[in-house]
Structure 1
Amino acid sequence: MAVNYQSIFRRIPHIFFATVYMALVSVPASAAGYENALKGVKNYDAVYEVSQGDPKVVNPVFLVIKNSYEAPEVKSLSKDPNIAIVFHGPVVKLLSTDSASFNEAELVEIKKFQTTLKQMKKDGVTLEVCRYALKGMGVDEATIIPEIDPVDNGFVSVIGYQMQGYAVIRIP
């Protein structure tokens, strides 16, 4: 019986790719590439320092923030995530119910943003706004949505969280 080596060699790429495909699909869905980052991590504590005030930019950024603490790999840690967000700078205008300085398209984005913040508060996220920033940006504290807690100085909050072991993420 003669062996047809040409036939075998033609099938090698197919066999190779089929083997690679099977190896890839057998990788657990939870393997999102965080093995190194979360190695030995028991708690996931983060404070986001946010000043970004563009209504078109905040929504995608906050969806990513929300995804970070909702990720299955984070949820599977031994302790629930602790997330705090401290607002200062131009973003404080987006926390207000006063919409006089925004056009219709911006208002749509601001409404989505505030809805996301309300959901985050329900998720247990701590939301704080700097009173210095409110004064500096001309925003009346009485117009801030109720989910946001005013603090005298947002930098004190960020430093306090950092001293408690929270990772600090800046969103300029």
Structure 2
Amino acid sequence: MTSTHRKLAAFPAFLLLAIACLALPGLALADKPDDTEALRGVDLGRVAWDINLGDPAKLALYLKVMDETYADLQRQGVKPEMVFTFRGPALALITTDQMDVPLDQEEHYAAIAAQINALQAKPGVRMEACSIAARLLKVDTQSLLPGIVPVGNTFVSQIGYQAQGYATIPIF
């Protein structure tokens, strides 16, 4: 194995995905394959994202992929309904309180806030934050990014959304 191959093998997969996404901005969504089999007879795409991720770079990337998922559903004639339930270490990434953010991470926090704002502008998108996680992590729910609603318990939210026909997709 060459030193280049060793370096690439050690490079986190999510960073390679991020670089690929940034390097191919000209690739139009229309050029993507469709999901005909999976979406056969589906008019409404309900997903409850279970977000329990504390890495700001990863969350910024995943939010972009979730946004693309929304666009992919629309492109294929499916109306998206998405609920984002933030819990655990993700709460520290979705607040306006940035006092302890390392300088080399500020760009990721800004990207998270911008992507959340863009997602919230789309019809059928709701965002919630777990008040239990907020209490445990000492996150003031008043400092949550605008549009993110504190709820009692996102585990309860997930139960309710699943009972309403939402697919749960974990983001860890």
TM-score by length of 2: 0.77
Conservation of the 8 A alpha-carbon contact between 2:43 and 2:79: no
Q: Which runs of 4+ in 1 moved over 6 A?
A: none
1:133 match? 133
Structure 2 residues without counterparts, runs of 5 or longer: 1-29
User: Superposed, which structure 2 residues align to 1:83-162 within 5 Å?
Assistant: 83-124=82-123, 125-162=125-162
1:15 match? none
TM-score by length of 1: 0.77
CA separation of 1:36/1:138 partners in 2, compared to 1, >3 Å: closer, same or farther? same
Q: Deviations over 1:4-35 (max 9, x none)?
A: xxxxxxxxxxxxxxxxxxxxxxxxx5661412
CA separation of 1:150/1:96 partners in 2, compared to 1, >3 Å: closer, same or farther? same
Q: Deviations over 1:77-112 (max 9, x none)?
A: 2x5210110000001001111112211121211011
CA separation of 1:30/1:56 partners in 2, compared to 1, >3 Å: closer, same or farther? closer
Conservation of the 8 A alpha-carbon contact between 1:130 and 1:150: yes
Alignment RMSD: 1.5
Matching residue's letter, 2:143: T
| Larger Rg, first or second structure (1 or 2) | 1
Matching residue's letter, 2:44: N
> How many residues are matched?
142
Structure 1 residues without counterparts, runs of 5 or longer: 1-28
Q: Structure 1 vs Structure 2: percent identity of aligned residues?
A: 29
